[in-house]
Amino acid sequence: MSDSLHTLPRDGLIAVVKRDCPTCVLTAPVLGDLARRAGLAVFTQDDPSFPETVAERIDDTALDVSHRLRIEIVPTLIRLREGREVERTYGWDRTEWQRVAGLDALGEELPPFRPGCGAKNIEPGIIERLKIRHGETGLSARRVGIGDGEDEIEAMFDRGWSDGLPLVPPTEERVMRMLSGTARDPREIVGAIPPDLVPATVEKVAINAVMAGCKPEYLPVVLAAVEAVLDEKFAMHGVLATTMYVGPVVVVNGPVRRQIGMNARGNALGQGNRANATIGRALQLVIRNIGGGRPQEVDRATLGNPGKYTYCFAEDEEGSSWEPLACDFGIARGVSAVTVFAGYGLQGIVDQKSRTPESLSRSFAESLKAMQNVKLAPGCDVLLVVCPEHERTFREAGWSKRRLTDELHRLTQIPGEELVGGAKGIAEGGPPSLAGKTVGKTRPGGLLIVRAGGGAGMFSGIIGGWAASGERGSMPVTREVKS
């Protein structure tokens, strides 16, 4: 027996099988019959002694022949002529086997049809290693060598790639597996990542998604989030360089939320969900590792906030009576999309007694006035996360999201006399010219509303934005998630 690629005959029949396949075992007598009558060459993927009905088996446990032949299902029967494949069938289909073999009487004692099994050479982990061995990775990123005595995790810390938490080593196998999550070309340039404006390819984003702990199916969401923060309206360089607390907050809408198992309900903004945690983290690692955005360098945040590790959650569309957030930005309902918002840590709204929308909206409004400082208006954009029990109060009263938004804008109009410097004994504030005017806490269009959270507890939340939000700075941006 031999495992060499040169064992492929120039003319004749070959079969690829594995013992761990009931259909291959079923066809063992037919394989023996073909070997005797037609000179069949049999390549075995997992057990060199299988099938015993064939005297000369060829060991393909290294799977190089299977990879070269692009075997996807076993058993596969192939006819070669002058070194080229001219016929192929897979699984067990008596009519097809007779056609490829050129024999009428074949497998008459077997059922007419049985489906095959997945080939070993395309199993996760194996297919990536085979592509690497055969020089088919398609990867262009430079490989960083790690010394024999180095610990991979510590080496990544030492090289400054980490956000402070351990990273998953981005091996070729893992990066290739990550890239299988998208149909996009690995060499496609997603955009120039600030602050260094380094071009980011799909492959480079995938490398950081691996390090963040993402699954391949998360990659399209990560790519959409990267594209969104690179929109000029979001002003990622400014978001990064400000001394304020902010970083990208990612809200996900559409079918992809359920497809990848995101959390929109209990503890939606907290720990415990892999997709929520790693998608937001991957975005931050892209900014750090590709764009060079590191704390105490271009990132000049005075305090920052824990959300700068990761800040990503899904909207609870199924439980909501309101249109999803992405719809506010022109995305049709049922289309997967991400919205990025320059926000900081959560400010809670605790109201367990309001049972009317009028009372609850006033409670929300008074809480909104405290954003950043009660003396600052217009202060910043805001993402209002409404919990299910609070949303129910508005739903049962027939309040749409638009009505609630309009009411909150009305209720957060503040007399200018309260905002001037020195008012209320607080030096912070605006110029004396504000006196006699009324000032809104947020700009028109600067109040975003989503529903998320657990079914119990009357606790909503405010995610305040950058003080330079709105027309003067960062605007929320939505991007469709593409496969």
How far is the C-alpha of 408 from the C-alpha of 401, rounded, in Å? Answer: 11
In a domain, 276, yes or no: yes
Q: What is the pLDDT of residue 7?
A: 72
What one-character DSSP code corresponds to residue 351? Answer: -
For 60-83, letters b (16+ CB in 10 Å) and e give beebbbbbebebebbbbbbbbeee
pLDDT tens per residue across span 148-205:
889 999 999 999 999 999 999 999 999 999 999 999 999 999 999 999 999 999 999 9
Other CB atoms within 10 A of residue 236 CB: 26
Residue 99 is predicted with a pLDDT of 96
Mark whether 370 and 439 lie in a shared domain: yes
Tell me the average pLDDT across 28-43.
Answer: 95
Position 303 in a domain: yes
Higher pLDDT, 440 or 4: 440
Q: How confident is the model at residue 229 (pLDDT cuts 50, 70, 90)?
A: very high
pTM, to two decimals: 0.88
Structural contact between residues 378 and 439, judged by C-beta atoms closer than 8 angstroms: yes
pLDDT grade for 3, boundaries at 50, 70 and 90: very low
What confidence tens digit (pLDDT) does each residue in 97-142 have? 999 999 988 999 999 999 999 999 999 889 999 999 998 988 888 8
The yes-or-no verdict on residue 348 having pLDDT over 90 is: yes
Q: How far apart are CA 269 and CA 228, in angstroms?
A: 20
Check whether residue 376 and residue 413 sit in a common domain.
yes
Strand, helix or coil at 84? strand
> Quick one: 179 and 310 in the same domain?
yes
Residue 145 inside a domain? The answer is no
Is 4's pLDDT higher than 60?
no
Confidence grade of residue 341 (pLDDT, cut at 50, 70, 90): very high
In single-letter form, the type of residue at position 185 comes to D
- Reduced to 3 states (helix: H, G, I; strand: E, B; else coil), residue 475 is coil
Are 386 and 259 found together in one domain? yes
Residues 268-297, mean pLDDT to the nearest whole number: 97
- Asked if the structure places residue 94 within a domain, the reply is yes
Q: How much is the pLDDT for 473?
A: 76
The structural domain count of the chain equals 2
| 107 plus 173 within the same structural domain | no
Domain assignment of residue 140, yes or no: no
pLDDT interval class at 461 (50, 70, 90): very high
Q: Determine the Cα–Cα distance for residues 26 and 114; give it in Å rounded to an integer.
A: 9
Cα pseudo-dihedral 268, 271, 272, 274, rounded to 10 = 90
Q: Please check whether residues 300 and 159 belong to one and the same domain.
A: yes
Q: What is the pLDDT of residue 468?
A: 64
Mean pLDDT of 414-421: 95
The neighbour count for residue 281, using CB atoms within 10 Å, is 25
| Count helices and strands in the chain by DSSP H and E runs | 15, 20
- Tens digits of residue pLDDT in 309-321: 999 999 999 999 9
Q: What is the pLDDT of residue 5?
A: 53
**Whether residue 366 sits in one domain with residue 430:** yes
What average pLDDT score do residues 441-464 get? 95
What is the helix (H) or strand (E) element at residue 94, kind and residue range?
Answer: helix 94-101
Neighbouring C-alpha atoms within 13 Å toward the C-beta of 330? 5
**Residues 80, 197 within the same domain:** no
pLDDT at residue 49 is higher than 80: yes
- Cα–Cα distance measured from residue 271 to residue 280, given in angstroms and rounded to the nearest whole number: 12
Phi, psi of 426 (to 5 degrees): -115, 120
Tell me, yes or no, whether 149 lies in a domain: no
Q: What is the CATH number of the domain that holds 106?
A: 3.40.30.10
Q: Per the domain annotation, does 138 fall within a domain?
A: no
Give the distance, in angstroms, between the CA of residue 208 and the centroid of all CA atoms in the same chain.
11
> Tokens 């897979």 identify what position?
90
Q: Grade residue 2 by pLDDT with cuts at 50, 70 and 90.
A: very low
pLDDT in tens, 138-156: 888 888 888 888 999 999 9
Based on the domain organization, do 159 and 93 belong to the same domain? no
The residue range of the domain holding 10 is: 5-133
Inside any domain, residue 144: no
Q: Which has more pLDDT, 124 or 220?
A: 220
Helix (H, G, I), strand (E, B) or coil at 37: helix
**Same-domain status, 236 and 340:** yes
Q: Are residues 359 and 314 in the same domain?
A: yes
Alpha-carbon distance 342 to 235, whole Å? 9
Same domain flag for 338 and 415: yes
C-alpha distance from residue 453 to each of 221, 264, 457 (Å) = 21, 6, 9
- For 244-264, what is the mean pLDDT? 97
CA angle 405, 453, 256 (to 5 degrees): 90
